[in-house]
Amino acid sequence: MTEATRRNWNGRKAARPAAANASPGTRFGAWLARPLASFHLIVAIATLLTVLGLVMVLSASSVEAYADGGSAYSLFIQQAMFAAIGCVLFYLALRISLKRLRQWSFPVFALSVLALVLVLIPGIGSEVQGARRWFAFGPISVQPSEIIKVSLVVWGAHLLASRRSEHASLKDILVPLVPAGLLVCLLVVLQPNLSTTIALGIVLAALLWFGGLPVRLFITIAISGVVAAGVLALSAGYRSDRMRAFFNPGDDPQGIGYQARQALYSLADGGIWGRGLGQSRAKWSYLPNSHNDFIFAIIGEELGFLGCALVLGLFALFVYTGLRIASRSVDPFLRLLTATATTWITAQALINIGYVVGLLPVTGLQLPLVSAGGSSLAITLFMFGIIANAARHEPEAVSALHAGQDGRFSRLLRLPKPEVYSPAKAESARARSAAARSGQRPRRPDPRAQSQSGRRQPPEQRRRSPESRGTSSARATRAWEPNYPMPHARERGRSR
């Protein structure tokens, strides 16, 4: 054995104990430093929550399904079918390019608004328990109010990223996003569906917050939204009954307060370790909607405090991962999209858990990926797929994927390489779009605009386009301009 081989062998032997003695926190931190760690975390969280939801829906709905149709698996089969559809949508969201996603954002949003109008028409929308919210296609029912959540997130992020600038006027930030959001909320209220209206309000507020709305105006809008929600909560009989039951839970324990009280009994019955999977007592017609709105109570009863802690831990990890992706993204569109989607999904989960444990009045918001609900499950999985797609566009992930470090999962799914975000490409696409709208021929880039070091000159030394003349912002960026003409896609500044 040569001297070099002996040193190499001794070095490897010395390195093994150091790696073996490394603390779990150090190993986890090293794993988080990998380029595709965010992508793998999002996929793992979506998988664990979906599998947990399928198991708990089967357990919570078996008694009610058997009593209604003679089969304990009818609701579970329906949930599993929508989970399969959601997996397909998750895969399609991974493969879609950001350029196509932004191009299709406004047409899909417009079609979603049209669907909200059509579902209110008798004979087209299906009415269940006094609410007209669904399109029925045989055994499958689709709720357009679930689709509008994702379309509002994507279109709103595209709109604000297109207009993002340091000195943008409030009108450019608020119009047409706020009027469109209020129109959507009005259509959902007419169904009626206060819970989805609250979710849409959270989406709109998150878009305005992360889009750079001034704090004072944001607080004014937030207070107005809370007041409007309070008025809506007291304007209908069943909603006012829920508010009365929340503030006076002992007034009608066998009536309007029965469901919330039974949920607390179910949670208390679980203790630390739970009664065991499938051993719930509340699902034997003691807790209404145990497989849907109050499935967290069944989790607490069967899996105990540890099961509830697992659900909370998964959503906490989702918050960390989503905000990590948003902070690492260099594309303003992805930052807005990921931060808004993370806020919406997390807030919906916290509201659901809050009214199950008695901290909030009952609103009917479902626990994402866990509660029974076909449209909600499929659409939420699609949103998770978009977030996972954004994770693959982190700068380190883009470099690793283009270097051939795809990993087994990406190679198995045959995912395309992510596109590299470039301000120069954004400026070129913006110039082509502006020329197409004005009917002029796009200008070729001036080779003299490059400095001797190969860097682009500062924004103030570059020639402005006619539409951007008069603005003083140098912070506005947009990844790609849509190829179709849009009245809201005006120039709001220059690329960095």
Distance set, CA 355 to CA 254, 362, 378 (Å): 18, 5, 24
pLDDT of residue 71: 84
Which residues touch 436 (CB under 8 Å, ≥6 apart)?
442, 483, 485
pLDDT of residue 462: 42
pLDDT of residue 68: 82
Helix axes 105-118, 144-163, angle to 10 degrees: 150
User: Could you tell me how many residues make up the chain?
Assistant: 496
Cβ(54)–Cβ(297) below 8 Å: no
* DSSP structure class, residue 464: P
* DSSP structure class, residue 461: G
pLDDT of residue 287: 87
Distance set, CA 221 to CA 109, 202, 338, 360 (Å): 23, 12, 22, 22
Long-range contacts of 212-216 (CB under 8 A, 24+ apart): 212/160, 212/164, 212/168, 212/173, 213/170, 213/173, 213/174, 214/170
Q: Which amino acid is at 321?
A: T
217/233 Cα distance (integer angstroms): 24
Q: Is 108 exposed, middle or buried (CB count within 10 Å of its CB: 0-12, 13-18, 19+)?
A: middle
**Mean pLDDT, consecutive 10-residue segments, the chain of 496 residues?**
48 44 70 89 96 94 85 90 95 93 94 92 80 79 89 94 70 86 91 87 92 84 82 69 72 75 90 90 87 92 94 96 94 94 95 91 88 90 96 91 78 83 68 62 49 42 37 33 36 36
192/195 Cα distance (integer angstroms): 9
Q: Which amino acid is at 156?
A: G
Degrees (nearest 5) of the Cα angle 133, 253, 284? 65
pLDDT of residue 431: 63
Which residues touch 338 (CB under 8 Å, ≥6 apart)?
322, 323, 325, 326, 329, 387, 390
Q: Count CB-CB contacts under 10 A for residue 424.
A: 11
Cβ(461)–Cβ(430) below 8 Å: no
Q: Can you give the pTM of this predicted structure?
A: 0.82
Alpha carbons within 13 A on the beta-carbon side of 118: 13
491/483 Cα distance (integer angstroms): 14
pLDDT of residue 334: 94
Token match 């003679």: residue? Answer: 70
pLDDT of residue 485: 36
